[in-house]
Amino acid sequence: MAVELPRGGTVVLIGDSITDAGRVRTDPASLGCGYAYLVAALFAARNPGHRARFVNRGINGNRVTDLAARWADDCLAHQPDVVSVMVGINDCARAFAGGEAMPAETFAAHYRSILDQAATRGARLVLLEPFVLPVNQLRASYRPDLDLKIQVVRTLAAEFGAALIGTDALFAEAAAASSADEWTTDGVHPTPAGHAGCWPKPG
Tens digit of each residue's pLDDT (9 = 90 or more) over 33-91 = 999 999 999 999 999 999 999 999 999 999 999 999 999 999 999 999 999 999 999 99
Model pLDDT for residues 99-128, shown as the tens digit of each residue? 777 899 999 999 999 999 999 999 999 999
Answer yes or no: is 95 within a domain: yes
pLDDT of 94 over the 90 cut: no
Whether 3 maps to a domain, the answer reads no
CATH number for the domain that contains residue 166: 3.40.50.1110
Residue 120 covered by a domain? yes
The percentage of residues in the chain with a pLDDT greater than 90, rounded to a whole number, is 89
In this prediction, residue 203 carries a pLDDT of 47
- Whether 191 maps to a domain, the answer reads yes
Number of domains in the chain: 1
199 pLDDT above the threshold of 70: no
Residue 50 covered by a domain: yes
Average pLDDT over residues 173-190: 94
Q: Residue 127: which domain range?
A: 10-197
User: What percent of the chain is modeled with pLDDT above 70?
Assistant: 95
CA distance 18 to 35: 8
The answer on pLDDT for 20 being more than 70 is yes
| Structural domain includes residue 52 | yes
Domain contains 141: yes
Whole-prediction pTM value?
0.94
pLDDT at 1: 58
Q: Which residues, in sequence order, are CB contacts of 91 under 8 Å at separation 6+?
A: 63, 64, 102, 107, 130, 149
Which residues, including other chains, have CB under 8 Å from residue 171's CB and lie 6 or more apart? 131, 133, 183, 184, 190, 194, 198
Q: 191: part of which helix (H) or strand (E)? A: none
Q: Is 5 part of any domain?
A: no
